[in-house]
Copies of this chain bind each other. A is one copy, B any other.
Amino acid sequence: MFKETKTHEVTTDVVIFTIEDEKLKVLLVKRAHEPFKGKWAIPGGFIRISETIDAAALRILKEKTNVQNIYLEQLYTFGDPLRHPDSRVITCAYFALIRSDDIVLSFDDNSEITEVQWHPVYNLPKLAFDHKEIIEYSLKRTRERLEFCPIAFQLLPEKFTLTELQKAYELILGKKLDKRNFRKKFLASAILKELNEFTKSGSKRPARLYSFDKITLDSKRGHFFS
């Protein structure tokens, strides 16, 4: 009975969302080897024997984006025996939301990968393994989370306008929202800090900048991210 388990392999894959060019995008890597050589996949890797699964996911996030201290949530563990064509690989998937500016995509020259790139979520190339399913499920979960917690702030710069925040919501949810209701809700929620700064307008009325109120956010962390 124990013998059987020896050939399991356990990986973690991380779905990393961002907003770039007014589009919701996901980070993909191009595979250097078979199986699925030359196909796009979400970044992932083996879980090391003495690291937690969370740590493995964070490590992979950092390897590709140099980003740390991010909202990273365990999504689901995918274990169909046929999901990997060669061997039994169980993967514990995570998802994360990050800002794409001031990020330098990178990868070691370990010959596992030949490219790293952002791809529009709503227009993905053909993906390796069951990664399409994993991304779809991530999006679904992100939408569910968004109804309760303001995780969209991970996608925005420290100072942002309400319109930018609304755009982020609309991109994730895939639908238009009512401007007045949106603003009313956030201004009532006390998680935003109204700044006395405005965008230097490029040919239109300057917009007020807001930031997330770290104190309120931390105090509600258990509530939001439980």
Contacts and interface: CB of A to CB of B under 8 A. Distances in A.
B79 A76 contact: no
A80 B92 contact: no
Contact of A92 (B5, B49, B77): B77
Interface stretch (A7-15, A26-34, A189-197): A7-15
A66 to B, nearest CB: 21
A89 to B, nearest CB: 9
Interface string A125-165: 00000000000000010000000000000000000000000
Contact of A79 (B4, B6, B92): B92
Given A4-B46, A4-B48, A5-B46, 11 more contacts: A1-B46, A5-B9, A8-B10, A8-B47, A10-B90, A47-B90, A50-B81, A53-B79, A53-B90, A74-B76, A77-B77
Contacts of A74: 76-77
22 contacts: A1-B46, A2-B9, A4-B48, A5-B10, A5-B46, A5-B47, A5-B49, A6-B6, A8-B47, A10-B10, A47-B79, A49-B81, A49-B88, A50-B81, A51-B81, A52-B79, A53-B77, A53-B79, A74-B76, A77-B77, A77-B92, A140-B226
A7 B52 CA distance: 14
Contacts of A49: 4-5, 7-8, 81, 88
A51 B81 CA distance: 6
A76 B7 CA distance: 22
